[in-house]
């Protein structure tokens, strides 16, 4: 698993998170050289101050986790996140609209968030694959591409997680035009490896450190075996 650390958005998105938890998350991400941390909007400024001068990226969220905010609120939340120091935004597409086949509304909303952000800020769109039929997942990818976002993301993790089948489906539908982030339920080294093998370009996990520690233990064991 070469450069596994660079796949991880180290996530802490629970409602009872404290500032001390955020500071610890920042230190963990730095210690393991993880790609970034994914946090709720109220903590972005604290994380930015703690990570000043660091290579660790800050991923803010919009419409998280229920997806049912108005478009105006999602846009404002995304813009505020960047102003506070977020390097990327993970927004949740309106799942109810996707389920109902109201694809035009979904595309309009994603495009509105994309237009409001600086062009250099990647926008990742969460579609909650556990709640969508395969054909709707594929249509969601088309919408995300047309709306100008850079990633499709499987799930928030609040209502089910990523599966190998869903990641492979999204990767194929993306056709190289956007990237895929697998998120939700990635707790072991085997989980991470399976998602990457299926086509994930990024992994969202609250177990990033545990997975990196598992990788280190395996490397030590393999080294001893070779001797």
Q: Domain with 137 in it: what CATH number?
A: 3.20.20.70
Cα–Cα distance, 51 to 31 (Å, whole number): 12
Residue with tokens 């963990």: 28
Residue entry with tokens 């556990």:
130
pLDDT digits (tens, 9 = 90+) for 188-206: 999 999 999 999 999 999 9
Q: What is the pTM of this model?
A: 0.96
Mean pLDDT of the 129-141 span: 98
The domain total for the chain is 1
Q: What is the CA radius of gyration of the chain?
A: 17
pLDDT at 221 over 80: no
Residue of 74, 153, 171, 179 marked catalytic: 153
Among residues 87, 124, 181, 191, which one is catalytic?
A: 181
- Position 227 pLDDT exceeds 70: no
124: annotated active-site residue:
no
38 and 59 Cβ atoms separated by less than 8 Å? yes
* pLDDT at res. 222: 67
pLDDT tens by residue, 84-122: 999 999 999 999 999 999 999 999 999 999 999 999 999
Residue 191 among the catalytic residues: no
Residues 6+ apart with CB under 8 A from 54: 26, 30
74 carries an active-site annotation: no
The active-site residue out of 90, 124, 171, 179 is 90
Residue 211, helix vs strand vs coil: helix
CA distances from 179 to 9, 22, 66 (A): 14, 27, 23
Surface-to-core class of residue 144, CB atoms within 10 Å of its CB (0-12 exposed, 13-18 middle, 19+ buried): buried
φ/ψ of residue 58, rounded to 5: -110, 125
| Phi, psi (deg, nearest 5) at residue 15 | -75, -20
Q: Which domain holds residue 145?
A: 4-226
């Amino acid at each position: 698993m070469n450069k596994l650390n660079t796949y991880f958005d180290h996530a802490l998105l629970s409602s009872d998170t404290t500032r001390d938890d955020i500071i610890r998350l920042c230190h963990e991400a730095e210690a393991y050289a993880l790609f970034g941390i994914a946090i709720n909007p109220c903590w972005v400024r604290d994380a930015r101050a703690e990570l000043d001068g660091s290579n660790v990226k800050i991923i803010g969220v919009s419409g998280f986790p229920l997806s049912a905010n108005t478009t105006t609120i999602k846009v404002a939340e995304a813009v505020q996140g960047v102003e506070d120091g977020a390097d990327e935004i993970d927004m949740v597409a309106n799942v109810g609209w996707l389920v109902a086949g109201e694809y035009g509304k979904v595309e309009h909303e994603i495009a509105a968030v994309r237009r409001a952000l600086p062009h250099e800020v990647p926008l990742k769109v969460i579609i909650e694959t556990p709640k969508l039929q395969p054909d709707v997942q594929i249509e969601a990818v088309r919408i995300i591409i047309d709306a100008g976002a850079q990633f499709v993301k499987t799930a928030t993790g609040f209502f089910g997680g990523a599966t190998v089948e869903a990641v492979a489906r999204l990767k194929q539908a993306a056709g190289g035009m956007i990237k895929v982030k697998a998120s939700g339920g990635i707790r072991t080294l085997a989980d991470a490896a399976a998602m990457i093998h299926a086509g994930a370009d990024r992994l969202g996990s609250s177990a990033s450190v545990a997975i990196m520690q598992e990788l280190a233990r395996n490397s030590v064991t393999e080294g001893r075996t070779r001797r």
